């Protein structure tokens, strides 16, 4: 009886070991293509919000936790995932590309990059991850909504359902106010972080 139990245990151990090696091999094979695909998605977002840039350079000393605390202190629930400098061919800085995640979209997290020029003009944003409802919250990716943010120079935006009457007001997506507010909050968080970078204060 004991020999049978030991034999079964050894067989199970060997099967588990082989499965573990197999999963490890699969991970090694797939990790690099996934990483490359994510890199390409991010680079495409950078180019979308800064088409005039020749290259994007990681900002020295960037700390996601410290950046997120800055926007949290400013009243935003968003995470600052990254920040790069948009540069021309001569290495001159054209502005910043800030990547933000807001947790309050209708489908959960929405992550996007926004470009802000040296003078504080918002070039717009490009979404890299969103899980909202097609035909509703997914419209946050469409120009009819996102273009409302382009070429604006304001301290922050607010969402309205009655028609925008100023540069700082954004018309909500019909049937997707929650997502509209999440994206707008993320943009505002990015602007708050930009102000900290350029003036030393988010207020």
User: Which string of DSSP letters, residue by residue, matches 63-120?
Assistant: -HHHHHHHHHHTT---EEEEEEEEE-TT--EEEEEEEEEEEEETTEEEEEEEEEETTS
When pLDDT is cut at 50, 70 and 90, the band that residue 36 belongs to is confident
Q: What integer pLDDT is reported at residue 201 of this predicted model?
A: 56
* The pLDDT of residue 202 is above 50: no
Are 142 and 127 spatial neighbours (Cβ–Cβ below 8 Å)? Answer: no
- Average pLDDT over the chain, rounded to an integer: 91
Q: What is the pLDDT of residue 15?
A: 81
Report residue 17's pLDDT band, with 50, 70 and 90 as the boundaries: confident
- Kindly tell me if the per-residue pLDDT of 29 is higher than 90: no
Confidence of residue 125 (pLDDT cuts 50, 70, 90): very high
pTM of the model: 0.82
């Amino acid at each position: 009886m004991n020999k049978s139990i030991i034999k079964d245990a050894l067989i199970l151990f060997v099967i588990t070991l082989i499965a573990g090696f197999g999963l490890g091999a699969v991970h090694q094979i797939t990790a690099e293509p996934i990483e490359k695909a994510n890199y390409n998605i991010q680079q495409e977002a950078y180019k979308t919000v800064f088409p005039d840039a020749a290259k994007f350079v990681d900002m020295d000393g960037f700390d996601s936790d410290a950046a997120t605390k800055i926007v949290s202190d400013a009243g935003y629930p968003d995470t600052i995932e990254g920040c790069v400098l948009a540069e021309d061919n001569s290495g001159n800085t054209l502005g910043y590309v800030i990547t933000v995640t807001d947790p309050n979209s209708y489908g959960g997290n929405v992550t996007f990059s926004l470009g802000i020029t040296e003078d504080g003009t918002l070039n717009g944003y490009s979404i890299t991850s969103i899980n909202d409802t097609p035909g509703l919250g997914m419209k946050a990716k469409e120009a009819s909504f996102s273009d409302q943010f382009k070429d604006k120079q304001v301290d922050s935006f607010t969402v309205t359902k009655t028609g925008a009457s100023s540069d700082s007001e954004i018309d909500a997506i019909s049937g997707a106010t929650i997502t509209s507010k999440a994206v707008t909050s993320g943009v505002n968080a990015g602007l708050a972080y930009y102000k900290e970078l350029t003036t030393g204060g988010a207020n």
